[in-house]
Amino acid sequence: MIIRPKVRGFVCVTAHPLGCEANIKEQIDYVKANPSVENGPKNVLVIGASTGYGLASRIVSAFGCQANTLGVFFERPSERGRTATPGWYNSVALEKAAKSEGLYASSINGDAFSTEIKDQAVERIRSDMGKIDLVIYSLAAPRRTDPKTGETYRSTLKPIGSDYSNKYLDTDKKTIQEATLEAATDEDIQNTVKVMGGEDWELWIQKLEDEGLLAEGCKTVAYDYIGPKVTWPIYKDGTIGRAKIDLRRAKDAISESLQSIGGRALISVNKAVVTQASSAIPGVNLYITILFRVMKDLGGHEGCIEQMHRLFTDRLYREDDFVPLDDRGLIRMDDWEMEPKIQEAVTEVWPKVTTETVDELTDFDGYQDEFLRLFGFGVKNVDYEADVDPVVNFE
Ligand code: NAD
């Protein structure tokens, strides 16, 4: 079939298998063209491995460190004439590329919050990999069923304390609009912490530890975002921000439990990038379009793969084995985003952006291109007029 993008709000309901494969190849080529990771990990588990930051972490592990990788994700294969989700196509392409270079790469598709998927991962690691020396935790999920109680919690993106109004970018209509977000209830806060907080990360590490599958000196890393003041009401000070505070609590608890094997848990605060998760956050897409414009003009613009390559080479696996942290004990990969000259430029532009000035003041086109690329559209050297089979499977 001929596959075209079908955008519905902040998702695209189709994906292009060859475009996704070409995206993976570009990311692999980037890693190969840059310094490899000295003393990198050899056995890596990535939870949330099919898109965004988790996918980029897996690519750096495999192609920058020559590591064996096990990826866990929740994606949909092609069914009844519908295309698969991009994360499915990405993961098939990644496995194929890794195997063609003699690297072990295996995947588990299912709900990472469940005990069943954790058990499957334990079995796979035990039979195929041996001890794990890096666990990346990169889930962005709308809901979680607690494996102990069976209760399902939904995460929300809401301000805390009072309703909040600000402008946002309607990407379909290319207009700047004003929206009011209703303040979260206590239940919204607790539910979001349940889904996006640190509890499940702790359960994963506890299980691997109990099964004796963590190597001496192993590291585990989860991802965080702080961002500038203009996004704080909805991000840092909102429901998702509360979940991230819980993630930091979990980091300390996990680090303590890993002490006996000389392991440690870390949190990396990453830059704002275009992913399926970030496109769903109200107001954040307007910030990203301005940020991209400023960072492309002033320098330092990065996507997921550049960030994750820098995380591995300049933070996690430096020659001196030192992991630089800020005064709160966090790795700051958002250092370039938060530079005063970048933030001052964003702050100056923000109030001036209107529907009429979107093109002039923001990187709207760049944002749209990147958004469509997440689904495999608009990628160089892909023939979008060609008939393609949407059914692509793992070998
Ligand atoms: P993403 O949407 O691109 O990826 C989410 C991943 O989680 C996918 O692999 C998906 O399959 C997987 N997933 C979702 N629900 C699952 C489930 N129930 N079981 C198994 N897998 C599941 O997200 P992203 O933007 O890369 O976000 C990853 C992390 O990075 C999050 O913690 C996010 O807060 C953080 N982060 C993102 C940004 C950004 O701008 N995108 C910035 C800083 C930090």
Q: What is the pLDDT of residues 136-164, one digit of tens each?
A: 999 999 999 999 999 999 999 999 999 99
- 3-class secondary-structure state, position 265: strand
The catalytic residue among 223, 235, 287, 367 is: 235
Residues of the chain with pLDDT under 50: none
Please tell me the distance between residue 171's alpha carbon and the centre of ligand 1 in angstroms.
Answer: 21
How many Å apart are CA 269 and CA 221, to the nearest integer? 10
User: Which pLDDT score, from 0 to 100, does residue 282 have?
Assistant: 73
First-to-last alpha carbon distance for the chain, in angstroms, is 22
313 φ/ψ angles, rounded to the nearest 5 degrees: -80, -40
Which residues, 6+ apart, have CB-to-CB distance to 296 below 8 Å? 363, 366
Q: Which residues line ligand 1 (CB under 6 A)?
A: 48-54, 72-75, 87, 111-113, 138-141, 223-225, 270, 272-273, 275-278
Partners of 7 in the beta sheet?
12
Please identify which residue in the block is written with the tokens 């909102």.
238
Q: Is 235 a catalytic residue?
A: yes
- State the pLDDT at residue 278: 86
Q: Provide the pLDDT for residue 371.
A: 95
- Ligand 1 atom nearest 196 alpha carbon: 32
162 CB neighbour count, 10 Å cutoff:
8
**Which domains occur in the chain, in start order?**
7-143+190-276+303-335 (3.40.50.720)
Place of tokens 């840092």: 236
Name the nearest CA neighbour of 371 among 30, 51, 47, 26.
Answer: 51
Q: Tell me how far apart the alpha carbons of residues 283 and 176 are, in angstroms, rounded to a whole number.
A: 10
Q: What is the pLDDT of residues 197-219, one digit of tens each?
A: 999 999 999 999 999 999 999 99
Instruction: Give the per-residue pLDDT at 252.
Output: 98
Please choose from 223, 247, 266, 330 the residue to mutate so as to test ligand 1's pocket, defined by most ligand atoms within 8 A of CB: 223
